[in-house]
Structure 1
Amino acid sequence: MIDDYARGVTTMAADTVWALEAHLETCAPCRSLLAASVATGAPDIAALVDTVRAGLEPRLDAVGAVPPRWRRPRWVSSWLTPAMTPWLAMTAVVTLVALLLDAAAPAEVFGSSSPVSLIAPVLPLCGVAASWSSGLDPAHELTASTARAGLPLLLRRTTSVLVVVLPVLLLGGWLTGSTTAAQWLLPSLAFTSTALALGSVVGVTRAALGLVAGWGLVVVAPTSITGRVPAFLQLALQRDQLPVWGLLLALGVCAVIARRDTYSTL
């Protein structure tokens, strides 16, 4: 496989090439085999590399040593994208604003519902949208072309969003005392899995933002205007309706698994 890869054999399957590249990232002996294979099986590439090296070495020597600087751990880059930091900060700020509204807003504004409970089901979607947005990530093209791109990387970034957002919501729900964790945790996870499932068709960012916009128009805006929570939301967040959210979560997960190959081409 390494010999075929070095020679640029076009009959190699795409998934085989990606698996080989992912393996080469962590296997020094195989990288040595690749270097030897390029030298013997692809002399044109070896000559090109030598030419580039001969042109760069004098320039690099003239630049001098670069002072060492802090480098973030490798696992941070594999789980997070720089664009997620401001979005996660914004999510925390939105939760804080909801807490302030819950404490200071007149009772007739949101009726019997807490602002935290209104935004909790869709709040993780803001971070999910930012975690896979080509417009917000300057290195999106580079990331999307790596061997580890696709569903595994998307799940890592989604998990990192949930790890940050869910504790903030848990703290907000505990401070307000208006809703239990189970009443918003399952809806949050259900909306997240639905966004990932729809993302295999229209793109994760579009799917997440579409669900947020739909929830805002159907639930948050009417509640803010009338001061009454829509009847269907009151019914949906009741304890006896939690199995329905669990079913929606399971369906979203099954859809993601069934369409897992499409995420590498988003």
Structure 2
Amino acid sequence: MTHVSPAALAAYAAGDPGLDDVTAWGVEAHLDACARCRARLPVPELLDRVRTGLLDRAAAGPGPAPVPGRWRRWTGWSAAGWAVTAVIAVLAAFLLDRAYPQYPSAVLLVAPVAPLSGLAVAWSRRTDPAWETLAGTARAGLELVLRRTLVVLAATLPALTAAGLVLGESPALWLLPALTLTSAALWLGGRIGVAAASVVLAALWTAAAVVPAVVTATDPPLIRAAGVPGWAVAAIVCTVLALLRADGFRRLRSWR
């Protein structure tokens, strides 16, 4: 076997610009197969060359990405558009109630599912560009999803409260169903993903409450005062189940 000459080896290690590409490639191929020539490499010169090259590239490249602020631990920019949409939906329901008081309350029909769309946006890989980073942090479990749930509720409940007060509706008629469906979305979210759970629950609510209200023009049993005790029990049960499924939010499937 013909070994690399000392001159070529030194030029390669020093990054000599006079060393043509063909010779450099030949030296690299030989070093890959020859331990003897690798041992002859002037390691300090080679390391200095690599270090200088890396520092030059780092200086010429883009700067480091800014560290996400404290708000990123609670929510993302995608939630801003949803919050505006939720408030508009509540306002539209309120206007419908004022214009057509003889029909079932649109606010009561919208309130239970209003937070679900926010959960679908706040905890989904499709809407959060930083979901990989967040999913790999130590707080990526139930703590983070509860923080984002609180943000969703903080954006939704004030609008619902104001609409309910003006319409004279009891808070229990809309607050308990909203909390129940939110807790149920967290419970199912650990298994099938929060976004998918929100869609499933919204579809079930539409079939069980919205459609009957539209067809019969009367308040369905689910939003009557007689159903309040049942909603209270359901809210507690769903909350306990969500807490028992806390480990589900440490898996990437919850972000689907």
TM-score (norm 1): 0.69
1:56-135 matched pairs, under 5 angstroms: 56-59=54-57, 61-62=59-60, 74-105=69-100, 107=102, 111=103, 113-135=104-126
How much has 1:55 moved relative to structure 2? 4.0
Give the structure 1 partner of residue 144 of structure 2: 153
Q: Which residues of structure 1 form unaligned runs of 5+? A: 1-49
Distance in 1 between residues matched to 2:86 and 2:50, nearest whole Å: 46
* Offset, 1:247: 1.4
Match of 2:130 in 1: 139
Rounded Cα–Cα distance in structure 2 between residues aligned with 1:145 and 1:133:
14
CA distance in 1, matches of 2:236, 2:101: 38
* Residue 262 (structure 1) aligns with: 248
1:64 to 1:126, Cα distance in 2 relative to 1, 3 A = closer
Identify if the C-alpha distance between structure 1 residues 228 and 139 changes in structure 2 by more than 3 Å, giving closer, same or farther. same
Percentage identity across paired residues of the two chains: 39
Q: 5+ residue gaps in structure 2?
A: 1-47
Partner residue in 1 for 2:222: 233
1:176–1:53 Cα change, 3 Å: farther
Instruction: Give 1:203's aligned residue.
Output: 193
Greater Rg by CA: 2
Q: Structure 1 residues 65 and 241, CA, compared in 2 at 3 Å: closer, same or farther?
A: closer
Post-superposition offset of 1:106: 7.0
Number of aligned positions between the proteins: 204
Per-residue CA deviation, residues 46-80 of structure 1 (Å, 9 max, x unaligned), is xxxx99875454345457999xxxx8982211101
* 1:16-95 aligned within 5 A: 54-59=52-57, 61-62=59-60, 74-95=69-90
Kindly state the Cα deviation for residue 225 of structure 1 after the two structures are TM-superposed.
3.4
Cα 1:105–1:183, aligned 2, differ >3 Å: closer, same or farther? closer
**Structure 1 counterpart of 2:175:** 185
Q: Is contact 1:114–1:176 with CA below 8 Å preserved after alignment?
A: no
Distance in 1 between the 2:58 and 2:69 partners?
A: 25
Q: Is 2:210 the partner of 1:215?
A: no
**DSSP 3-state at the match of 2:56:** helix
Instruction: State how far apart, in whole Å, the 1-side matches of 2:50 and 2:109 are.
Output: 58
**Structure 1 residue identity aligned to 2:207:** L
Cα 1:195–1:63 shift into 2, 3 Å: closer
2:154 is matched with which residue?
163
Change (3 A) 1:193 1:60: same
SS of residue matched to 1:122? helix
Q: Conserved in 1, the CA contact under 8 Å of 2:93 and 2:107?
A: yes
